[in-house]
Structure 1
Amino acid sequence: MEHLKIGNVSFYWLNGGVTHLDGGAMFGVVPKPLWSQKYASNANNQIELRTDPIFFQYNGKNILIESGIGTNKLTDKQKRNYGVTEESHLKEDLNKFGLTTADIDIVLMTHLHFDHANGLTSWNDNQLISTFPEAVIYTSTIEWEEMRNPNIRSINTYWEQNWKAVQHQVQTFEEKAEILPGLMMHHTGGHSAGHSIITFEQNGERFVHMADLMATSAHQHVLWVMAYDDYPVKSIEEKQKWAAFAQEKEAWLTFYHDAAYRALKWNNKGEITDSVKRIK
C-alpha cells in the first residue's frame, strides 16, 4: 500500500476500484498524438483511471479523501460503459489498519460525481445505507445543492442512490473551511460548479489535492482540461492558481485517478523532482 508522509502524518491510498474512460473526453480538445505521449490508452481509446481514496489519521480522527466507486453499486451496463474492471476493496484495506468503515470520522468530498461518491452508500438487505455511519461528510454548499437538484447535464453523474442515505451526515461550506488545523478545503468550481480542492500543511511540508482540476499527472499543462468539465475556463483559472501555489510552496500534488503516480513534485521546468509511484 503506497503512502506519503507530510510532517508527522502518513497518507495511504486504498483500493477504491478502477474505471476506463474515453481518452478524448478526459483530455478535451487536446489531440491524441499529444496526450498519448503522456498517458497510455487501450485499443478502445480508453485510459485507466483509479478511484482510490486517501486514508490518514490526524488529530485523533480517521479521515478519507473521496469514497471510491463502491461495491455492487453499478449495473452490468454501467460497468461496461465506464470500463469498470475492479470494484472497491475499501473495507479490506481498512481492516489492515484494524478499522472498519464505522471507524471513519471524516470524509472529504471534493465533489459528488458518481466515481467519487458511489462509495458513500452500500447495499444492506435490499436497502441503501451509509457506508461510513459515524462520519461527517464535507462538501461545498454548491455541490450539495446540485447533487440533490441536478440539471439536464449533471443528472447523469449526480445519483440519488449516493446522497439520500447520508444526507443527515453532510456538512457544507462556502468558500473555504478549515476541517482540522492545517487541513483545508477550498471551493474552486470548474470541473463542477461546486468542485473543491484540499490542502494540508504541517511542519512546513504541504500537499495540494487538486482532484479533477488535475485528474492525472498527464494533465499538468494548464490548458489540458476535460470535456467533462462544466466550466472549463474556470478549471483553467483555478488550475493555474493552485499549480503555481504548489510550485511556490514546493508542495506535493496528490492524485485520486492517476494510474501511474500517487503523488509527485514538479520543478519550475515542469520536471518531476520527487514522486510516489503506484505499485501495480
Structure 2
Amino acid sequence: MTKQTGSLYVVATPIGNLADISERAVATLKQVSCIAAEDTRHTGKLLAHLGVQTRTLALHDHNEKQRAASIIARCQAGEDIALVSDAGTPLISDPGYSLVRQCRAAGVRVVPIPGPSAVITALCAAGLPTDKFLFIGFLAAKSSQRQAQLAALPADVGTIVCYETARRIQACLDDVALVLGADRELVLAKELTKTFEAFCHGTAAEIQAWLNDDPQRCQGEMVLMIASEPAKAAGDISEQAQQTLKILLAELPVKQAAALTAQIHNEKKNPLYKLALEWSGES
C-alpha cells in the first residue's frame, strides 16, 4: 500500500499577545513531525509557552530555496510539516513564498491555518476605508528609493498599508509628506496587541509630533496606513495642465501622459491620472 503524502501547514502565530493563537494552530504544531521556523530560538519560546515539544528547523530568507527540497521530500515521504514565521502569518513580508510555491509545484498539499496578521489587525481599528487597500510591505531603507516607490503608487488603490521600523519611521513620514502631500490623512499603529499598543491619526507632521512627545512611542513594530487621495475635480486642475494632458493623451498611454503632465506643471499625478481615465473612457 502506497504511503499517503504529507502536508505543509502554514501556521499563523501571535504578533504580540500569546493568547491570540488558535486552538487549531496549537493542535497542528503538536501533531506535525517538524516545524520550519524563521528563527528557531524565537519560536522555541512560543512552543515552550504552549507546551509543544515538536522539534524545529531553521527556514529563513538565506536558506529557504535550498532547504525547500528536503522539506518537500519529507512531505512526499508522508510527514506533515508546519511553517511559522517569527510573528503573524507566514509569507506576509516574511519567508515562505519559495517553499509554498515549490510544494504546490511538487504536488504537496499546502494547508493554511489562519490567524493574526498585522496588516488586518491595523486596518480593522484604524478608521480608514477597508473595502479596498494595497499592502506594499516594507518601504525601501534609502530615502531616494522610498520616494520613488511612493511616487509610483497607482491611483485608486484605496488605503495604502506598509510596515516600517522604529528607526526609519520619522524619515518615512518626511517622504510621505513630500511625495503624497503634507495634508494626506495617515494612521500609525504600533506595538499591536502588546502592552503599549497605540494608534495615532493625523498628518505626517502631527504623527511626528506625537512620536516626539514620548521617546517610548518611537519604539517597537509599526504599521503605517495612508488614506486615499481625496478626489480632485477637473476644475481644481489648472487649465494649462488640462490642455497639456489632452495633447499628450493623443500620443501616449494614460499613465505616461498623466505623469508627464504632473512633472511639467508641478501638479499631483493621481488627480491627472483619474481625469485622463475619464477622458479616455477607461474609468
After TM superposition, the score normalised by the length of structure 1 is: 0.28
Higher helix share: 2
Higher strand share: 1
Which of the pair has more CA radius of gyration? 2
